[in-house]
Amino acid sequence: MSSFRLDDLISRLSERASRIFKNRETLRPDYIPDELPHRDKEIYKLAEILFHPLLRGDRPSNVFIYGYPGTGKTATTKHVFKAIKEKLTPRLQVPVYCLIINCKIDDTNYRILKEINDFFNIPTPHTGLSLAELYNRIVKELKRRIGFFILALDEIDNFVKKSGDEILYKLTRINSEGITTKVSLVGITNDLHFKEYLDPRVKSSLSEEELVFTPYTADQLRDILYARAKIALYDDSYTDGAINLCASIAAKEHGDVRRALDLLRVAGELAERRNDPKITEDHVKEALKIMERDKIWEVVISLPFHSKLVLLVIAYLQERFLRECTTGEVYEEYVKMCREIGQEPLTARRVSDIINELDMGGLIKANLTSKGRYGRTKYISLRIEKDEIFRALKEDERLEFIIQSISSWSR
Ligand SMILES: Nc1ncnc2c1ncn2[C@@H]1O[C@H](COP(=O)(O)OP(=O)(O)O)[C@@H](O)[C@H]1O
Ligand SMILES: [Mg+2]
């Protein structure tokens, strides 16, 4: 293509881009708006827990925050931390240090302690340090400074499930180390049962105060979406129907704002690509389909190898027999495939467990029937498009060859 036509394409694309999105970035999940509609109560409660003691010169209680994903826990905490920095600190005699660590990213004891060291500009050598030394350096620093340190551990369940709660235990006891910068912890989790994982001493100390975020209703989601659409989209580029549909779909999924915003963004991208003037319900419906497909893709490509193999066998048998298949048929074919690709097959028992896991994960449907002369048999069928499965499984190069030979066979 000549450069002239490329220029033309670029200008046409940017013209189109400007038709729907005024500021696309504000629909991304890491964008935090200045206003958080329908979270006044939570903002107020968290601020009260933290501000009151700070204004009196006392250490705030530790707080434990939980609620479903996308209910504004991270956004609310960041909002309150910003207010501490901008509005509260100028009234206090001593500094308040606020740090949020995303434990989905920093998911080990080492990384968490290292983040705190970095936050206080304590240099650590490239060769690394022991956990004890990283911790001691924090204590030393907190003895050198005077004030308060509010440490939020976001998605805390990720790190505790992976690395245990030893460091958490130490952090809940850190104020007894004779430090002059008093520490308060804010633990945030999407996992409503997370507390059961914790040592009772950590549990009681971490939840001196508790804050529960309830799911947004469809009406609340609609308000949040309209507020965001005002910043992100041009006034005449979306229909009420589209906003309502995004809100009602997300309301059914625990009131997850992230989901609603993603839907609106993907729907907007579809409208833009097609050169349609407005985002409509049809765009949202199609966005939903695309997002579901992406989700399935993610699930399939992250399965362990033998689970992929079992799934492949089920898809293959369904294509060959054009009917549901039984556990026995799946196992027989699975063993054959293992031989063909030089893999040691797992036991029938283990494959039966894998079938249950695939069923629970929503990829297949396994119905147990107790009739018939063979006693109890499971009838297995796919819950998703066979071609989707083949496409995702092909990503695994160990399966590429076998998928190719299957498809040349069935032609
Ligand atoms: N009340 C609200 N008003 C506006 N945006 C919100 C609100 N609650 C959440 N969001 C937005 O939704 C997304 C997910 O919120 P987040 O705080 O990360 O949820 P959680 O931490 O509970 O999973 C973020 O982009 C956030 O800015
Ligand atoms: Mg969060």
Residue nearest to atom 4 of ligand 1 (CA): 36
In whole angstroms, what is the distance from residue 249 CA to residue 222 CA?
11
Percent of the chain with pLDDT over 70: 94
Instruction: Give the count of alpha carbons within 13 A of 95, CB side only.
Output: 10
- Which tokens go with 181? 């910068």
Between the CA of 75 and the centroid of ligand 2 the distance, in Å, is 7
Name the residue of 30, 258, 262 to mutate for ligand 1: max ligand atoms within 8 A of Cβ: 258
Residue nearest to atom 24 of ligand 1 (CA): 29
In whole angstroms, what is the distance from residue 326 CA to residue 369 CA?
10
- Which tokens go with 198? 């914790």
Residue nearest to atom 1 of ligand 1 (CA): 36
Q: Which atom of ligand 1 is nearest to the CA of 67?
A: 22
Between the CA of 78 and the centroid of ligand 1 the distance, in Å, is 10
Sign of CA dihedral 307, 308, 309, 315: positive
Between the CA of 74 and the centroid of ligand 2 the distance, in Å, is 4
Residues 90-120: tens digit of each pLDDT: 999 999 999 999 999 999 999 999 999 999 9
Residues 350-403: tens digit of each pLDDT: 999 999 999 988 899 988 876 666 567 788 999 888 888 888 898 888 888 888
> What residues are in contact with ligand 1 under a 6 Å CB criterion?
29, 31-33, 36-39, 67, 69-75, 224, 257-258, 261
pLDDT at 1 over 60: no
Between the CA of 259 and the centroid of ligand 1 the distance, in Å, is 10
In whole angstroms, what is the distance from residue 65 CA to residue 169 CA?
18
Residue nearest to atom 10 of ligand 1 (CA): 72
CA end-to-end span of the chain:
37
pLDDT of residue 4: 65
CA quadruple 54, 81, 120, 135: dihedral, nearest 10: 80
Residue nearest to atom 16 of ligand 1 (CA): 72
pLDDT of residue 161: 87
In whole angstroms, what is the distance from residue 302 CA to residue 50 CA?
41
Between the CA of 74 and the centroid of ligand 1 the distance, in Å, is 7
Q: Which atom of ligand 1 is nearest to the CA of 213?
A: 22
Ligand nearest to the Cα of 67, by number: 1
For residues 158 and 406, the model is more confident at 158
CB 287 within 8 A of CB 267: yes
Ligand nearest to the Cα of 28, by number: 1
Ligand nearest to the Cα of 72, by number: 1
pLDDT of residue 411: 45
| DSSP string for 239-264 | -HHHHHHHHHHHHHTTT-HHHHHHHH
Residues 53-88: tens digit of each pLDDT: 999 999 999 999 999 999 999 999 999 999 999 999
pLDDT at 202 over 50: yes
Residue nearest to atom 9 of ligand 1 (CA): 72
pLDDT at 11 over 70: no
- Which tokens go with 195? 């507390």
Q: Which atom of ligand 1 is nearest to the CA of 38?
A: 1
- Rounded mean pLDDT of the chain? 90
Domains in the chain, CATH or no CATH each: 40-213 (3.40.50.300), 218-299 (1.10.8.60), 303-410 (1.10.10.10)
The residues, any chain, with a CB within 8 Å of residue 56's CB and separated by 6 or more, are none
Between the CA of 207 and the centroid of ligand 1 the distance, in Å, is 23
Q: Which atom of ligand 1 is nearest to the CA of 68?
A: 22
Between the CA of 155 and the centroid of ligand 1 the distance, in Å, is 14
Q: Which atom of ligand 1 is nearest to the CA of 71?
A: 22
In terms of DSSP H, where are the helices of 68-188? Answer: 73-83, 109-119, 131-144, 156-163, 166-172
pLDDT range class, residue 137, cuts 50, 70, 90: very high
Q: What is the SS3 assignment for 67?
A: strand
**Identity of the amino acid at 372:** G
pLDDT at 5 over 80: no
Ligand nearest to the Cα of 155, by number: 2
In whole angstroms, what is the distance from residue 271 CA to residue 269 CA?
5
Q: What is the SS3 assignment for 101?
A: strand
pLDDT at 15 over 90: no
Residues 282-320: tens digit of each pLDDT: 999 999 999 988 888 888 999 999 999 999 999 999 888
Sheet with strand 209-213: strands edge to edge: 96-102, 147-154, 181-189, 63-67, 209-213
Q: What is the SS3 assignment for 370?
A: coil
For residues 325 and 44, the model is more confident at 44
Between the CA of 188 and the centroid of ligand 2 the distance, in Å, is 7
Name the residue of 228, 257, 261, 262 to mutate for ligand 1: max ligand atoms within 8 A of Cβ: 257
In whole angstroms, what is the distance from residue 103 CA to residue 387 CA?
36
